[in-house]
């Protein structure tokens, strides 16, 4: 049984890049859901079990910061880990996001190896992982 994942980004290309990178991490990936913005993401989170959320920051209707805030306010979602995928490398902003509960961030462009490292850091090393100790 793999990780069920939600990828939130208004760019269809970026969502596909993330999904492709996930398939190259060597980690067990279950169902991957997609959402174009925070509002769609909340609808998915309302109906599906999600192990981890990858979220962009700049999105229409509801951006990543607001999505993270909404999740933190919801008892059902507050412990769901969020990894921000962003072009913004500003340390001040990333520190603000961490203070709001974001577990980690990935700067675009990124490699599947980096994605794997971040997921392992956030979710812990998977059992039977051929790359683990």
Partner 1 sequence: MDRDTLRSALEAATRQVLEEAAFLFTEPSTEPIDKASWPGSVIQVQLAFTGPIRGHFMLAASPELCSSLAVEMLGAEPGEPEAEAQFEDAVGEILNMVAGLTLDQAIQGKALWELGVPEARSMSPGEYLSGPRSDVRVRLDTDEEEPVEVAIFIEEGGR
Residue 10 is inside which H or E element, if any?
Answer: none
3-state helix, strand, coil in the chain (%, to 5): 40, 20, 40
Q: Which of the ranges 72-80, 88-96, 97-105, 121-129 carries the binding residues for partner 1, by CB under 8 A?
A: 88-96
Please tell me the distance from the alpha carbon of residue 37 to that of residue 5, in angstroms, as a whole number: 15
Does 86 engage in binding with partner 1 (CB under 8 A)? yes
d(C-alpha 108, C-alpha 124), whole Å: 23
> Which one, 20 or 132, has the nearer CB to partner 1?
20
Q: Which of 60, 113, 121, 124 binds partner 1 (CB under 8 A)?
A: 60
Q: What residue ranges bind partner 1 (CB under 8 A)?
A: 10-14, 16-17, 20, 58, 60, 86-93, 107-109, 111
């Amino acid at each position: 049984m793999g990780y069920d994942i939600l990828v939130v980004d208004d760019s269809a290309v970026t969502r596909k890049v993330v999904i492709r990178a996930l398939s190259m991490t060597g980690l067990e990936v279950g169902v991957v859901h997609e959402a174009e913005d925070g509002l769609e993401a909340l609808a998915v989170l309302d109906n599906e079990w999600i192990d981890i959320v990858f979220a962009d920051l700049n999105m229409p209707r509801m951006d990543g910061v607001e999505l993270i805030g909404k999740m933190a306010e919801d008892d059902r979602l507050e412990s769901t880990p969020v990894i921000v995928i962003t072009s913004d490398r500003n340390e001040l902003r990333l520190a603000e996001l961490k203070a709001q509960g974001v577990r980690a961030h990935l700067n675009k462009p990124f490699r599947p190896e980096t994605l794997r490292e971040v997921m392992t850091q956030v979710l812990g090393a998977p059992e039977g992982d051929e790359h683990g100790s």
